[in-house]
Amino acid sequence: MAEKPAPLHLFADVLSRVQAICASLAAVGNWPDGGDLSRVVVEPPREASHGDMATNAAMVLARNAKAKPQDLAAAIAVRLRAEDLIEKVDIAGPGFINLTLKPRAWSEALRTVLREGEAYGRMAAAVRAKVNVEYVSANPTGPMHVGHCRGAVFGDALASLLQFAGCDVTREYYINDAGAQVDALGRSAYLRYLEALGEKIVTFPEGLYPGDYLKPVGQAIAAEYGDRLRGKPEAQWLPIARDMAIVMMMDEIKDDLRTLNIKHNEFFSERSLISGSSDQVAETIAFLRSRGDVYQGRLPPPKGAAVDDWEDREQLLFRATAFGDDVDRPLIKSDGTYTYFASDIAYHKSKFERGFRDLVDVWGADHGGYITSMISPANFTRSGTKAMSCPIYASL
C-alpha cells in the first residue's frame, strides 16, 4: 500500500508555490538550465513588521535570469498576488520579497496540526532529505566554553528534530586543525613541554595560549620524548607538539560532549583538505576560476576603524559581491597560505560531493557577519548537473 503523502506545512506550501512561479518564469524567459530553484528559500522575515514570510527568490535567480533582482522580484510578486494564500506582497531592499498570508491560511494550518497529531511534521518517504548538520566545531585550541555548549545543545536538538521529520541526518564536527591558530597551539604546548622539563616559563609571547590546560599536554610530550626535542629546530618539534595538543584537546572536547549526551557521526579534519594525495582547496579554487568566479584584484581598506594587518596589494579574490556579499573575499594570504574562507569553501564543497544537498551550520553569535560570506560561494556545480543547493544557516 502506497504511503499517504504528508501534508505540506505552511512554509513548505508557500515555498512550493514560489518555486512553481519561478519555474514558470524560467520557461517563459528561457533561462539557462531553468535556474537552480533549490537555492530559493522561504523563511520568517527578520522583522515581524515585514510580514509572515520572506523569500530570496529574486536575489538568487537574478543572475541566471539576466535581470536585476528588483525587476525579477516585481515579476514574481505579480504572480504571488494571485495565490489564494497570499494577502499582501511587498518588495524590500535589493529584491527580497515579503509576504503576508490570509488569516484562513493559519486556521487551516491549525486544523492540519490537530488532524495529524503526533505525526505532524513528518515527511513522506519520497521527499526525505539527506541533511548535514555541523555544530559545535570548536577550535581545538582549548576546552569548550559555555558558548560552545549552547551551540552543542541547539545543534543536537535541531538534528533530532530533522530526524523526527524523516530526514537522513549526519551530525558533523569540523576540526580546525590547520593554519596559524593550531601552529600557535603547538608553540604554546612546546613551552609547557619545556616547563615540564624544569625550565621556568615567565611569560608567553603574544598570540600564544597561556592557559594551564596545556600543562598536561607538555607533560605528555615530556613523558614520550624526554628532552630529545629541547633545542631542536622548530620544524622538528612543532608538528609533534601541535599534533599531540590537538589530539588531547579534542579528547577533552569529546569527553565534554559525552557528558551532554551529544554524539557526532563525523569528525571532519580541515587538514585533510590539504594533505594526502590532493589539495582540495587548490582544486576548489581552480573550479571557481573555471566559472569566472575568482580574479586578481585589490580590495578597498575596511570601513570604520583602521585594521592593523590590512595591506593594499593585488590578490586572488572570490567574486562574493556577485552573490549578495558586501565585498569580494580573499582566498590566499600574502605568505601564500590559504585564508580560512578558502578552506571553508572547499570544506562545504566536500559536503556536496559526499551527497548532501541540505546543509545546516550552527554558529555562535560572533559569526553572524560570516553568514553572507559563506552563502555566496555555495552555488557549486559539477559537470552535467544543476547548481547545488545553498546551505541553510542557523546563527545563535
Are 43 and 9 in contact by the 8 Å Cβ rule? The answer is no
Interval 227-286: pLDDT, tens: 999 999 999 999 999 999 999 999 999 999 999 999 999 999 999 999 878 899 999 999
Domains of the chain listed by start with CATH number: 10-105 (3.30.1360.70), 130-270 (3.40.50.620), 274-396 (3.40.50.620)
Residues paired with 23 in a beta bridge: none
| Beta-strand pair 130-134/358-363 | parallel
At residue 383, the pLDDT reads 32
What pLDDT, in 10s, does the model give residues 65-84? 889 999 999 999 999 999 99
User: Cβ(267)–Cβ(175) under 8 Å?
Assistant: yes
Q: Could you tell me the three cell numbers for 46?
A: 527578520
* Greatest alpha-carbon span in the chain: 79
Summarize the chain as % helix, strand, coil (round to 5).
Answer: 50, 15, 35
- pLDDT greater at residue 224 or residue 116: 224
Phi-psi region at 199: left, alpha or beta (left = phi > 0; alpha = psi -120 to 50): beta
Please write the tens of the pLDDT for every residue from 13-50.
999 999 999 999 998 888 876 667 888 999 999 888 99
Higher pLDDT, 354 or 380: 354
pLDDT band at 357 (very low <50, low <70, confident <90, very high): confident
Residue 120 predicted with pLDDT over 70: yes
**CB distance 229 to 237 below 8 Å:** yes
**Cell numbers placing 245:** 595538543
- Reported as a single tens digit per residue, the pLDDT across 189-206 is 999 999 999 999 989 999
At 368 the pLDDT is: 73
- C-alpha cell of residue 98: 515579503
Strand, helix or coil for residue 120:
coil
Provide the whole-model pTM: 0.75
pLDDT 10s digits, 252-264: 999 999 999 999 9
**Cβ neighbours of residue 305 closer than 8 Å, sequence gap 6 or more:** none
Shortest CA distance to 123 belongs to which of 153, 161, 158, 156? Answer: 161
